[in-house]
Amino acid sequence: MAIPDLMPHPVAAKYAVLVDVGYLYAAAGEVLLAAKERKEYRVAADELIQSLQKHAEARISGELLRIYWYDAARDRVPTVDQRVIAQLPWVKVRLGNLNARGQQKGVDAQIRSDLEALARHHAVTDTILLAGDEDMVPAVEAAQAYGVRIHLWGVEPPYGTNQAERLVWESDTVEVISADFLRPFFSAVLPSLSRSPHPPPRPRPRRSSPGAPPVKPHAKPGQVAKLGPSRPRVEDVGEHVAQKWILTRGRDNIRDLLPGPILPTVIDTELLIEAEKELGHSLRPYPEARVWLRDGFWARVYREFDLGVGVSSK
C-alpha cells in the first residue's frame, strides 16, 4: 500500500508590480536632472518598464501577473506616451485625473484599491510596490493580513529620503533603485524644443504642383496598378489629422511626439487609419503615399510649435 505524501508542497509565487508613476518620475527627475516638472525631461517608458520587469524577475522566483502603471491625465484622456504604454504586454495603465495645477487626483486611491483586491482574491502571493506616499500604509497592512508579502521599492534620493518612514517600516522588504539604473531612460528636453516668444519665420515645406501625377502602387506581373491619390491631397489630409489631434488631444500631448520625425508604431497606425477615413480608401498599397501623409502631419505639428521642418524627397 502506497504511503500518501503528507508533506506540504511549496506554493509557487505569483506577483504583481504596482508603480506610482508620479512618484517614480518626480524622484528620478530630481536625482538625475534636478528637474522640478515632468515637462523638463523625456522618459523612454517602454524600455524602463522592461528593465523594471527584469529587475523584478531577478528578485522574486515566481510568475508575474502583470505590471500596474498608475499615472494621471487631464480628464483621464491618455497622452501619446500613455497610449503606447497601454499596448505593452503584461502592462495595465490606470489613469487618475490631472487638474489645472498639474496635481494628480485619484491615483493613490486606485493603487490602494488594487493592492487590497489582489490580496483579498488571492491573485498574488507577493507585490512589488514602487511608491513613497504614507497613504499606502493602510492598503499595505490590509494586503499583509491576507498573507501577501509587500516589497517596497524606492528611487535613490539626492539626499535624505523620499519615502514615508512608516511605509518603509510596514513593508516586508525594502530596496532602493539606484540613479545609475534609471539614468539610461531619462533625458533632458532640449531648449530648442521650447516655444520661443519671438520665433524666426519658418518656411513651409515645398509641395508638388497641383498637377503632380498620382502615385502608383507596386503591382504584381500581369496586374494593372490602380492610381492612388496625389501628393498634395495626401499631405493635406496629414495636416488635417494633425490639426484635429491638436484640438482634441491637446497641445501638450502632441508636444510629446517631438522632435520627430519618427512616430511610435501605435500612433503611426492611428494616423493611417484616420487618413484612410478622410480619403475614403486604403493607402496601404501605396508606400510613397504613407511617406507623404507623415510629411503633411509633421508640417502641421512643426508649425504649431514654431520649429523647422524637413520633408521627404520621395
Residue-by-residue DSSP string for 28-44 = HHHHHH--SSGGGEEE-
99: cell is 487638474
* Average pLDDT taken over every residue of the chain: 82
Length of the chain: 314
Looking at residue 258, its pLDDT comes to: 83
In what helix (H) or strand (E) does residue 150 lie, and over which residues does it extend?
A: strand 149-155
Looking at residue 252, its pLDDT comes to: 79
302: cell is 512643426
Chain centroid to CA 177: how far? 20
Looking at residue 7, its pLDDT comes to: 56
User: Where does the pLDDT of residue 58 fall: very low under 50, low under 70, confident under 90, or very high at 90 and above?
Assistant: very high
Least confident of 112-126, 150-164, 167-181, 189-203: 189-203
Judged against a pLDDT cut of 60, whether residue 198 lies above it is answered with no
Mean pLDDT of 13-35: 94
More confident of the two residues 124 and 232? 124
Cα(10)–Cα(62) distance, integer angstroms: 12
Give 267-282 pLDDT, tens digit per residue: 888 888 888 887 777 8
Give the predicted TM-score (pTM) of the model: 0.65
Cα 279–Cα 298–Cα 84 angle in degrees, nearest 5: 85
Give 65-75 pLDDT, tens digit per residue: 999 999 998 88
Place of cell 522574486: 60
